[in-house]
Amino acid sequence: MTDLGGTSDAVAFVGEWHGPVVATAVHAGHELRPAIAEAMVLDEAERFREEDPFTDRLAAVVPDRVVTTRSRFEADLNRPRREAVYRTPDDCWGLDVWRDGDLSDELFEGSLATYDAFYDALAPRLDRLAERGPFVLLDVHSYNHRRDGADEPPAPVSENPEVNVGTGSLDHDLFGPLVERFMGDLRDASLGCGPMDARENVAFEGRNLAWWVHDRYPRVGCVLALEFKKTFMDEWTGELHDDRFRRAQQGLAAALPGLHDELARLR
């Protein structure tokens, strides 16, 4: 792992970043800066359940990637800046997070600094990728599907695919064939890992990171916001299911060559 200058300890970069496929896992972090940890009353297990544990290991199938260590409860890197710090329960699923019921202005500003450090560090690296032509950023997340309880039925499969590919802000005229190739490869059992139930924009369409990239690099940047359903782990205990997780890793890795093929056609 290398911290390539000008970043905080909350963000670092792995790989050479020569492109054209890179990855992020902005909700994988669990760490908190000490002042935030002291102010927080949210149970750690409950916080872990709302984070995206292990998605950094999914993103690691991509050699060039961003590593972020801080919890989304310090700064949510996938929300617009004005919404990035959870100050009240209304900001985060009704959870009571802070000792005094609200977050102080001082701690709020410190968390915004964490947010800004991420985007300030990412921008110049993506600028250099964009100079070479179209690129793909895989924004790797996960989502809960047993919110009613550990012993209750899971959410309906019809509305909760194994992999939700979010493309809400993507230029479909240009990148539509790339998206179809990617989802087709995830579904293709002949690649040695599937088939995976991959569907587009069923439960999630991608948020701020995708918006930011698509706005900054029109007709060049392509973000696929990937939400892996937490069938690879027990979302209530945090236990990882090794075999299922390995299949998810293999599925994502098997779809990478197709992305390179499609980008080559665009170039």
Q: What is the mean pLDDT of the chain?
A: 93
pLDDT one-digit tens code per residue, 29-88: 999 999 999 999 999 999 999 999 999 999 999 999 999 999 999 999 999 999 999 999
Q: Tokens at residue 257, please?
A: 């060559």
Partner residues linked to 142 by β-bridges: 228
Residue for token digits 């994502």? Answer: 252
pLDDT, residue 122, reads: 97
In this prediction, what percent of the chain has a pLDDT beyond 90? 90
Residue 2 has pLDDT above 50, yes or no: no
Amino acid in the structure at residue 106: E
Angle at 50 between CA 47 and CA 52, to 5 degrees: 110
CA 68 to chain centroid, in Å, comes to: 10
pLDDT, residue 100, reads: 84
pLDDT one-digit tens code per residue, 84-134: 999 999 999 999 999 988 899 999 999 999 999 999 999 999 999 999 999
Q: How many CB atoms lie within 10 A of CB 45?
A: 10
In this prediction, what percent of the chain has a pLDDT beyond 70? 96
**Who wins on pLDDT, 191 or 164?**
164
pLDDT one-digit tens code per residue, 200-246: 999 999 999 999 999 999 999 999 999 999 999 999 999 999 999 99
Q: Tokens at residue 240, please?
A: 């990882």
Residue 194 has pLDDT above 50, yes or no: yes
Phi-psi region of 46 (alpha: psi -120 to 50; beta: other; left: phi over 0): alpha
Residue 1 has pLDDT above 60, yes or no: no
pLDDT, residue 10, reads: 82
Q: Which domains does the chain have, with CATH numbers?
A: 11-266 (3.40.630.40)
pLDDT, residue 226, reads: 98
